[in-house]
A and B are shown apart, each in its own frame.
Chain A
């Protein structure tokens, strides 16, 4: 179900990770993602696993909650794993008709799977511990230097934050309209591709209309509350680095340093 996507869903809890500056978390997530692509040995993955496990533990987000985000990528995972498994050349381990599994294939497939899973877990950890507003604040401030080149950073981050707020609402709405049309005999499942695409019209038209209506309403509500762009705005939660952020940065550099060292030396 679409509901199971955890990316963009905040899990309220009181942990050090929740309290970190969003810029720190963004940077940390980036480092972690980079490290996944630099890691090329079992030991590097062991380290990455340990770091991820520790971070999840500290965040107080239940593991079961994090895993739900993985459901969304199961198909992607299966495809990439089978590609790597069957299409890598090397020493043959098993032969199934025209398919063969090689030792190298098994390795790459396993690494690929772990990489993908960690990628999702790592980014979900960030979104689960950071409110979308903090996240966009982080992006806004972290990328603030781009404003000098005329990029509308405030506007973009405001749009992202609003999009995040409305995703669950629109998902629920999709479900409702779908059911309402099914009650009128609509069939979203059977038929060929073209028929299926045509069957979507009774769902998509009302959904777009509703999205536009919400957008108009929201724009009016924002205007009524004196919103007029980023100019002259103050912040309820201004971003300030604290000592825990400085320590985190140190840890990030230490971690990526070790990963690089492992790549060079092992």
Chain B
């Protein structure tokens, strides 16, 4: 089950002077129900990678298995794959085109060839998942606020009822509250529906808070793969490739270097607060 990539290579402009590896020998396996944070600086290959996972790009060489099936085997149904692996692009609101919110969300399930009642049921459910009630259904998507537009666009992918949801920087350009709302909704999809999530993000703070596991890409290669606390221990290597760890990691490292015995697995504010309070009170008793 899940997604498995084996020796994935993708070469741009093969055979020309501009030949360049966008993905180089990438291997990983994602289990059903995981929350993956995919990080890497611009141009590290993460956008290329996610487009492989639903068949929009075809690897130059290598294999991708979705639920155990090789998607490059002859006769594999690519259209069905795109229903299984939902991909929300960056600034997804730029893809809205229908006259009202409801019909726009119906576009995906309609393409899946479902009966009308099922299409509408899914659209309704998807819109409620992103927190938009019926009062929005007949509104033009172009008159909504930026954050609302984005939620409509995400609902458009959710309505296809994918098992895996990939989001490419879903919070770009949103204000802090808008960002938290979207991320909390994604987190709920993961916890309540068991959906597998792949979140592409530039924010180490966000992936530290939500993801179970991080994949770090650099120059088309997989650099790290592991739980956030393990990956962020390599904060020096991350800096070398133009990334960083969350601020909290640095605070913890600073405290350790000044002789405070604080756990270096800490990556979030809540964990840090608890640990510092424990240190301050714990020793009091001894």
Instruction: Assess A/B contact in the complex (Cβ within 8 A).
Output: yes
A184 touches B160 (CB 8 A): yes
- What residue of chain A has the Cβ atom nearest to residue B17's Cβ? A64
Taken together as a complex, chains A and B put the C-alpha atoms of A62 and B157 apart, in Å, by 44
Shortest 8 CB-CB contacts between residues of A and residues of B: A185-B111, A205-B97, A180-B95, A184-B108, A183-B87, A180-B89, A202-B97, A179-B56
Chain A residues with Cβ below 8 Å from B51 are: 179
Q: Which of A175-195 contact B (CB under 8 A)?
A: 176-177, 179-187
Interface secondary structure of A, over-half rule: helix
* B202 beta carbon closer than 8 Å to chain A: no
Task: Pick from B83, B95, B111 the residue with the most CB of A within 10 Å.
Answer: B95
| Residue B112, interface by CB 8 Å | yes
Q: Nearest CB to that of A202 among chain B residues?
A: B97
Given contacts A182-B56, A206-B97, 8 further A-B contacts (CB under 8 A): A62-B17, A64-B17, A183-B88, A184-B111, A184-B160, A201-B97, A202-B95, A202-B97
Give the interface residue-count category, chain A: 20 to 34
Whether the Cβ atoms of A184 and B107 lie closer than 8 Å is yes
**Quick one: which of B1-58 are within 8 Å of A by CB?**
16-17, 51, 54, 56
B111→A183 contact, CB < 8 A: no
Verify A185–B97 contact, CB threshold 8 A.
Answer: no
- With a cutoff of 8 Å between Cβ atoms, the chain B residues found around residue A64 in the complex are 16-17
Task: Name B157's contact: one of A184, A187, A202 (CB within 8 Å).
Answer: A184
Residues 101-138 of B contacting A (Cβ, < 8 Å)? 107-108, 110-112
Query: Could you tell me the distance in whole angstroms from the C-beta of A29 to the nearest C-beta in chain B?
Result: 26
User: Nearest-CB distance from B90 to chain A (Å)?
Assistant: 8
List residues of chain A with CB under 8 Å of any chain B CB: 62, 64, 173, 176-177, 179-187, 201-202, 205-206, 209-210
A179–B96 alpha-carbon span in the complex (Å): 13
Given contacts A185-B79, A185-B83, A187-B79, contact A180 B94 (CB under 8 A): yes
Question: A201 to B95, alpha carbons, bound, how many Å?
Answer: 11
**Which B46-104 residues have C-beta < 8 A from chain A?**
51, 54, 56, 79, 82-83, 86-89, 92, 94-97
The reply to whether A186 and B94 contact each other, CB–CB distance below 8 Å, is: no
Whether the pair B94, A182 counts as a contact (CB closer than 8 A) is no
- Alpha-carbon gap, A173 to B89, bound state (A): 12
Residues from chain A with Cβ under 8 Å of B83 in the complex: 185
User: With A179-B51, A179-B56, A202-B107 in contact, do A185 and B95 touch (Cβ < 8 Å)?
Assistant: no
A180 contacts which chain B residues (CB < 8 A)?
A: 89, 92, 94-95
Please indicate the chain B residues that have their CB under 8 angstroms from the CB of A187 in the complex: 79, 111
B156 at the interface (CB under 8 A from A): yes
| Minimum CB–CB distance for A30 against chain B, Å | 32
